[in-house]
Amino acid sequence: MLIAPSLLSCDFSRFGEEIARMDKAGADMMHLDIMDAHFVPNLTFGAPVIKFVRKYTDKPFDVHLMISEPLKYIDDFADAGADIITFHVESDSPIRETIDKIKERGLKAGLVIKPNTPVETVYPYLEDLYMVLVMTVEPGFGGQSFMADMMPKVEALKAKREELSLDFLIEADGGIGDTTIATAAKAGVDVAVAGTAVFKAEDAGAKIAELKAFC
């Protein structure tokens, strides 16, 4: 299990320092939520911020685009230092074209599905993906409760991956902590996005190690 701290839960006034803290604590990648107040009811930050905090770690930047038209901004996030870009199948951009654009920029592409979206919507694209992100909360705000009824989607993706002999990662985002990470791991999650569980811990390094131990 890889742990990707969600910077949505960090102290934004110390953004760079928080990234460095997570790096030192043993995070495997940094999860950066980009929201446009249109696709989801929240507004976070954009490519210029990512560009300025990129220097605080060498760990991969896992950039989750919760925006209406991700295709328009792939170049911006690629130039800013993204390593992985995931975007929603529910967005307004053409899925295939957006995946191709991400890969043309030399980045790893991923698709995201909201809780009410059938997992089958990503199946036509699996051969071109590095990651599939299953939302285990409604996207928009941190601190929500984990939706265990999303785990059948994870199980279905794991089965499809084996059926097709593929190697994409399965990521889960939302409400993951001490009481839920074992459930995610059992279902087949490879990358756990952890927000408040890590950032509010007294010792982030100990908490990341503890989360990994549950798996």
Active site residues: 33, 173
- List beta partners, residue 173: 135, 193
CA atoms of 102 and 124, how far apart (whole Å): 17
Residue 105 and residue 79 in contact, taking contact as beta carbons nearer than 8 Å: no
Give the helix ranges, DSSP H, for 46-203: 47-53, 74-80, 95-104, 151-164, 181-187, 196-199
Extract the tokens encoding 129: 């993906």
What backbone torsions phi and psi does residue 17 show, to the nearest 5 degrees?
Answer: -65, -35
3-state secondary structure 53-78: HHHHCCCCEEEEEECCCHHHHHHHHH
CA atoms of 53 and 215, how far apart (whole Å): 30
Q: Which amino acid is at 108?
A: K
